[in-house]
Structure 1
Amino acid sequence: MRVAGQHLMSLVVACLLMGFASNCRTGSLFSYGDSMRSVALTDYGIVFRIPGDWDVSLSRDRYFQFVAVYREDSLPLGLVEYRGLDTEPRDQRSRDLYASGWYDAMRLNYPGWKYVDRNKDAESRSFTFEGSYLEGTTRYIKIGKLRFRDRRIHAIYYTAPEDEIDRYREIFEAVDQLIQYGSAPRPN
């Protein structure tokens, strides 16, 4: 009985310590325990999980169907953008060609664009890049993910000022890992 009581007390102390530790912050802007909200874009077969304090806007009429922004003092510091297309190049060569145009568009759309890294998987179903551009006097880092899934093209962009990217990279990676892809109704 005494051993069981000691074991129970050890479990209670361990649970309390875990509870306190989960509420501690070590300088990170993101924790899986933070308030998250789901944003489902059912027409595109994708669901995002975004930190609850980020502003979200949705639109069918704009270039990006989904934008999430984190602001401090009205200054946008972290940005997630999504553009989906209801088509998919079916063979590897077509996907490679589409991705080539995607990479080229960055140079055309962002002044002073410089690639840091570009990658793809073996089947040409997922392409990534990291690059930077200048807007005014601020240099931004943009991370792009191009994915071909469920007969759709998913282009996702994560952007932060260069001097803030280390703070936001963890959030961007978590948001990206939490994305759910699934079938959505197809137009007739």
Structure 2
Amino acid sequence: MEISQSAALVVVDVQKGFDEESFWGRRNNPAAEENITALIDAWQATGRPVAFVRHDSPKPGSPLRPGQAGNDFKDAVEQRRGKGGGPEVLVTKTVNSAFYGTPDLREWLDAVGARQFVVVGIQTNMCAETTARMGGNLGYEVYFPLDATHTFDLVGPFGWRQTAEELARATAVSLHGGGFARVVTTRELVAAAAVR
């Protein structure tokens, strides 16, 4: 895998509100945050562009709504903002896709010359997946390190229930098998980013 010097890292919704298990339920992949920060460190150390995306939920009762502590980035992410040598942006959004945020993510990616980007964050099958799908549709080469994301158990129609692990696997199969993104590991990306 070849990661260009202009490839962007898009860090989606790594916010404190997702730690509220009573609201979201059981999660998967306890190593997600460690892998996310490893990728931020790798990108910042090589001067590559990083976009930090924050979900400002308009829904009453959401832990992610503005003005609530849960809206803030988790400490490990917040401490890394502004620490890299490359371009950085903060995108805020109220929907799943980071491409429907402010400022415009697509304009920023184009301005920094990024034709590749990596999606990490929360939730695997919601905002991370939607951002990856849209990126693929828009013609970007998208990488999706599954181990740098996590999600929660979910109940859907007809009483169907999927575990977080099942949902993550479904996302990986849909993105990779459907040609929207290349599903990889954090270790692969960190190693590829080190090659300049």
Tell me whether the two structures share a fold, i.e. TM-score over 0.5. no
Using CA pairs under 8 Å that are at least 6 residues apart, name the structure with larger relative contact order, 1 or 2.
2
**Where is the strand percentage greater, Structure 1 or Structure 2?**
1
- Normalised by the length of structure 2, the TM-score is 0.26
Could you say which structure has the larger radius of gyration?
Answer: 1
